[in-house]
Amino acid sequence: MSRAISGREARPLTSEVRVGGGQPLLQAINLEKLFPVKKGVFGKTVDHVHAVDGVNLTIFKGETLGLVGESGCGKTTVGRAVLRLTEPTGGKIMFEGKDITHLPQADIRGMRKRMQIVFQDPYSSLDPRMTVEGIVGEGFAIHGPPKGIGDVEFVRREKIHELIEQVGLSHDHLSRLPHEFSGGQKQRIALARALALDPDFIVLDEPTSALDVSVQAQALNLLKRLQEKLGLSFLFISHDLSVIEHMSDRIAVMYLGKVVETAPTREFMGNPLHPYTKALIGSIPIPDPLKRKDRKGIEGEVPSPINPPRGCRFHPRCSVAFNRCGWEGKDLVTHLTEVARVMSPKHAISKHVAGLRADGFVAYVDLHSPESLDTVRKWLETYAAEQRKKSALFDSVVAIDRFAGDREVVVPCKKMVVEVEIEAPGREGKEPPRMKSVRQKTTSMMVAREAAKMIEKTLDMDANLRSHNLILSVKPVQSTVVFKVLGPDSNLEKAVAELDSRLEPMRTRKEPLALAIGRGSIKRTRGPKTGLAVKLRAVEEPQMDDIGNGHQVACRLYDK
């Protein structure tokens, strides 16, 4: 009884009908998850892995949102964060309009009945010592037996039988142990387990990646059927775009912790906009030799999520990047070292240059002696002017000047405690929903991080950029924000004054972040006195822009 080999035309995608209507079932707003990187004997936190860095997602009732990306992009972390299996370090999660981000664990456990997850590896997601009946029925053991008429035990057994049949297994499988089943069957058991509590929403974390093609087909068909029958909503996470295209109503692409493009499936496949999306689609090998072409893939390797590229995270690998994509100091240093070969003995300025280093949107050229300053500056200016036309990197150069190397501005930060009112869902039948007041604590280190971002935005990133400004490399250091300044020493005081005047109105409005930021002071540091700084255009990350048709993309090419 096989189906016809040529598939039928896909039915109209639900979200195309729904654009603009109804309240979303689940929403992730600016979701953030950072993992600390600890080094040294005492385990000091030196840096953060930006696994999920400001992700916005919406899932409506009855639809499947496909989340696609390669390894390290953060999609698995997103899946766990929306269920609060991992605690987000920032942002909000709304479930049916209610904020569940800071719900205490006891309440979250109650919510688990509504949202579930199926894991990727069927071999490790089932307890090897529990029978199938025990595994599928575990939800009842935790939350109480399912409702029904008759003896409690009878109802429970009936429900488990129903679940097991629903996923295509039979009654005599119930007393067996996981290791007696194949991968595909194990996934069915995991699915039955997830369905036991009648959830509305299920996160499917690469549910078929470990399965063979024909088994995968069975599993995907089953998922679709169940979705229609039970009115489920799915967050389908995968690295396989073909599977995602098959299963999803809408698709979101992630790269290095951010969503770069979202669109309804047909729109997505018909009109991919983001260069990364296009490259992704282009690299997938199609099982049809007639469609063979030289697939290039993307140059280079995926960068580490510990220090993601500034500006657009994809720009170092993007074939169509231009000057506003976020070229950084390190890109410039790499170019000067490897392409212009400034450090090689034959080069005109190599005898003057002691070293090259990069920090944020600035490249520093350290010199042996102050006399070389003008020579090197002249060379750089000429070179940059030449390169400007053919290189997006040099096109984004904003200023080349000396800098105050042995002094910097230090801005201290305090910790913030904010009282937030959230609504806690009551326990069914026992308590009505009520407003809870939860204290949200932010450590001084995290405040410093936020402050650094804010200071950079306030002082540095001028939308007009007619006059370049003075700030070089804003950085959070423990619980302070430190930045250097371009030009003569007098600019340091100018910078402190400017920052204060910008923060004043915010402080008057009692904004908690502005209140947690102290007054800047100028400190001496151990830095080289002589050097040049090349400042590149400091850009923010591109925001998601709405293109229409439910299509959103975060790319400077499509900036309004």
CB of 142 to another protein, least distance (A): 5
Only one of the segments 111-119, 341-349, 354-362, 471-479 lies at the binding site for another protein (rule: CB under 8 A); that segment is 111-119
CB of 301 to another protein, least distance (A): 5
Integer CA distances (angstroms), 215 to 183, 298, 451, 485, in order: 9, 31, 51, 61
CB of 264 to another protein, least distance (A): 12
**Residue 269: in which H helix or E strand, if any?**
helix 265-270
CB of 175 to another protein, least distance (A): 4
Beta carbon nearer to another protein, 83 or 514: 83
CB of 20 to another protein, least distance (A): 23
Asked whether position 358 contacts another protein by CB under 8 A, the answer is: no
Q: Which of 74, 139, 360, 487 binds another protein (CB under 8 A)?
A: 139
Query: Exposure of 227 by Cβ count < 10 A (0-12 exposed, 13-18 middle, 19+ buried)?
Result: middle
Segment 402 to 421, residues that bind another protein, using CB under 8 A: none
203 token code pair = 């996160």
Q: Which of 175, 307, 443, 478 binds another protein (CB under 8 A)?
A: 175
- Note every long-range contact of 18-23, with CB atoms under 8 Å and residues 24 or more positions apart, other chains counting: 18/60, 18/63, 19/264, 19/549, 19/550, 22/60, 22/61, 23/96, 23/97
Segment 212 to 271, residues that bind another protein, using CB under 8 A: 212-218, 220-221, 224, 239-243, 245-246, 265-266, 269
CB of 232 to another protein, least distance (A): 16
Whether 483 and 404 have beta carbons less than 8 Å apart is answered as no
Segment 478 to 537, residues that bind another protein, using CB under 8 A: none
Beta carbon nearer to another protein, 131 or 458: 131
Segment 58 to 97, residues that bind another protein, using CB under 8 A: 70-71, 83, 85
Site string for another protein, 309-348 (x = CB under 8 A): ----------------------------------------
Q: Which of 16, 138, 366, 545 binds another protein (CB under 8 A)?
A: 138
545 token code pair = 């822009």
CB of 224 to another protein, least distance (A): 7
Asked whether position 40 contacts another protein by CB under 8 A, the answer is: no
CB of 238 to another protein, least distance (A): 11
Asked whether position 281 contacts another protein by CB under 8 A, the answer is: yes
Residue 408, C-beta contacts closer than 8 angstroms, at least 6 positions apart:
482, 483, 484, 485, 522, 523, 525, 527
What is the spatial distance between Cα 434 and Cα 107, in angstroms, rounded to a whole number?
Answer: 12
CA dihedral 111, 115, 121, 124 (to 10 degrees): 30
Only one of the segments 46-54, 169-177, 360-368, 539-547 lies at the binding site for another protein (rule: CB under 8 A); that segment is 169-177
Asked whether position 41 contacts another protein by CB under 8 A, the answer is: no
What is the spatial distance between Cα 138 and Cα 143, in angstroms, rounded to a whole number?
Answer: 9
Whether 495 and 487 have beta carbons less than 8 Å apart is answered as no
Please choose, from the candidates 486, 420, 478, the residue with its C-alpha nearest in 3D space to the C-alpha of residue 449: 478
Asked whether position 279 contacts another protein by CB under 8 A, the answer is: yes
Q: Which of 31, 117, 471, 553 binds another protein (CB under 8 A)?
A: 117
Beta carbon nearer to another protein, 142 or 348: 142
Beta carbon nearer to another protein, 281 or 340: 281
Beta carbon nearer to another protein, 266 or 453: 266
Please choose, from the candidates 196, 195, 248, the residue with its C-alpha nearest in 3D space to the C-alpha of residue 64: 248
Beta carbon nearer to another protein, 215 or 506: 215
First to last CA, the chain: 53
**HSE value, Cβ hemisphere, 13 Å, CA-based, for 327:** 24
Number of chain positions touching another protein (CB under 8 A):
86
Asked whether position 463 contacts another protein by CB under 8 A, the answer is: no
Q: Which of 47, 87, 127, 162 binds another protein (CB under 8 A)?
A: 127
Asked whether position 289 contacts another protein by CB under 8 A, the answer is: yes
Only one of the segments 21-29, 278-286, 378-386, 465-473 lies at the binding site for another protein (rule: CB under 8 A); that segment is 278-286
What is the spatial distance between Cα 533 and Cα 402, in angstroms, rounded to a whole number?
Answer: 6
Beta carbon nearer to another protein, 193 or 324: 193
DSSP labels for 420-437? Answer: EEEEEP--TTT---EEEE
Only one of the segments 44-52, 177-185, 475-483, 552-560 lies at the binding site for another protein (rule: CB under 8 A); that segment is 177-185
Beta carbon nearer to another protein, 22 or 285: 285
Q: Using H for helix, E for strand and C for coil, what is the string for 455-477? A: HHHHHHCCCCCCCCCCEEEEEEE
User: Residue 534: phi, psi to the nearest 5?
Assistant: -110, 115
DSSP labels for 84-151? Answer: TSS--SEEEEEETTEE-TT--HHHHHHHTTTEEEE-S-TTTSS-TTS-HHHHHTHHHHHH-PPP-SS-
Whether 14 and 549 have beta carbons less than 8 Å apart is answered as no
Beta carbon nearer to another protein, 265 or 473: 265
Q: Which residue has the tokens 């939860």?
A: 438
CB of 131 to another protein, least distance (A): 7
CB of 401 to another protein, least distance (A): 32
CB of 242 to another protein, least distance (A): 4
Beta carbon nearer to another protein, 51 or 516: 51
Q: Which residue has the tokens 């407003």?
A: 435
Whether 447 and 479 have beta carbons less than 8 Å apart is answered as yes
Asked whether position 110 contacts another protein by CB under 8 A, the answer is: yes
Q: Which of 18, 98, 112, 388 binds another protein (CB under 8 A)?
A: 112
